[in-house]
Chain A
Amino acid sequence: MHEAWIALRLTLKIAGFATLINLVLGIALAYLFSRKNFWGKEVLDAILTLPMVMPPTVLGYYLLVVLGQQGVIGQFLKEYFGIHLIFTWQGAVIAASIVSFPLIFKGARAAFESLEPQYEQAAKVLDVSNTAIFFRVTLPLAWRGILAGALLSFARAAGEFGATLMVAGSIQGKTQTLSIAVYEAVQAGQDDTANFLVLLTSVVCMSVLLVSGRLMPGRLARQG
């Protein structure tokens, strides 16, 4: 059972980093999309949402092509920084963040777009800089929606299988996450291990859903 805990820790680490990356990128892009109009906006929106509908193995294949030793980014990283992403947990983080990105992006964009413009306007006439307004008014008021999206994105990242397997493989203690460990255990006929892993995964997923349900906007008023 020791391996199960290692897999759990690895899963939480990968999902945690992926969510962190997505929080920063997702909030920035969602804010941009909710406030600015630019050429090709809806096409770009579709591309950013694509991971939600595309089979993870297809995404994984794209990532292999781009990040692999012959890939554009892979070659660059290897040549200038000596970094290999394929078959590493960092590679798994990239796979997980791309797959789960739309959840946080969509959630944050909806949260920003549903904000009443009055609050930002009121802050502007109070002689507070636009950057400060973002951190002191916009973000706190949109926070619940963003957090709910972040938790869903975390759950999706934690459950990632297809793209992660393609990019990072299944190296025990290194890249073998819970969902991949389940697959391996079943393939090897280790029913006890599989049962335990499945139970563990279910508990983690339930907790995330319960927490995100509490944070969904509308359930609680926006007041602090």
Chain B
Amino acid sequence: MVETVRQFAANEIRPRARAAEEAKQPADDAIAAAHALGLVANALPSAFGGGGERSAVLGALVAEELAWGDLATALAILSPALLAFPLADHGSAAQQAAHLPRFAGGSFVPGALALVEPAFGADPFRPRTQAKRDGAHYVLEGEKCLVPWLAGGETVLVFADEGGEAQGFLVPRDAAGLTATPEAYMGIQALPTVGLTLAGVRVPAEARLGEAEGSDLAGLIARGRVALAALGVGVARAAFEVARDYAKEREAFGTKIAQKQAIAFLLAQMAIEIDGARLLAWEAAWRLDQGEHALREATLALDQVRRIGLDVTDGAVQVLGGHGYIRDYLPELLLRNARGFASFEALALV
């Protein structure tokens, strides 16, 4: 499976990455082709047409390979899980039956999860967006950002504070009072995202994820942090490989620049940090698969990736020098993408 995804990333994703980024359009061909591999559907419960093989470790392996190809495309490919996994984990029987079969179908259906908020100091664990019960309905008020918004989606999972507890709500994209404004970020420009304004958005009480049971936002964030850590490792590995290959080709003062310790040691440090971060991500994923909550381990992994991902991609730009700064080469894109991890939460799930 991982080998298949690796080849897919090399043959289908990477060649389209630059054009998609420049066009600020998702690489639809690659996304459709990835759906055929069943990367998300295989992990969904078999009762709803899925493969019934959910594994956070496998999810982390797949995420790294996809992100090695291109982060924005990887996030698009994995977006169905943003709805499907929380539904599988916490959805009521009725919610699962209503939503899950679509994600196991023949064509790609994107998911959307609205957790991140734009206000300074916003805390993913304690959304400022409010959900107030009003008879048989909830009324949602607030602002979200960084919500993946690929064409063809119908529902967005919005996290909001309900009396001091974070809860998820399944909101139709066309709900009255919901305004989606396209965003532009420094990186991941091939991934369409929106900011959401929720102004008196009314959803039925049954729209609360898990209905009476509710859900577990911290658990969801842990799964998000493992996924993001693995994606970040993929971005860093891509940068390392570009820098390594360039350094072995580029000559200065009569030798390859890789033969200079200043460059060679930088590359060695990149390799060490990437392997260390990958092991942290794998361990956290493995703990999730053992049934542990693993928020601490997931947090450590993402924390490490947030640092080393930036260091490695910045180092790659540096190794390529002026060539690293121009858009003919990948490192500048990888640096822009790596910086995003400081702000990302639950942009992908395992």
| Mutual binders A and B | no
* B contact residues vs A (CB 8 Å cutoff): none
* A contact residues vs B (CB 8 Å cutoff): none
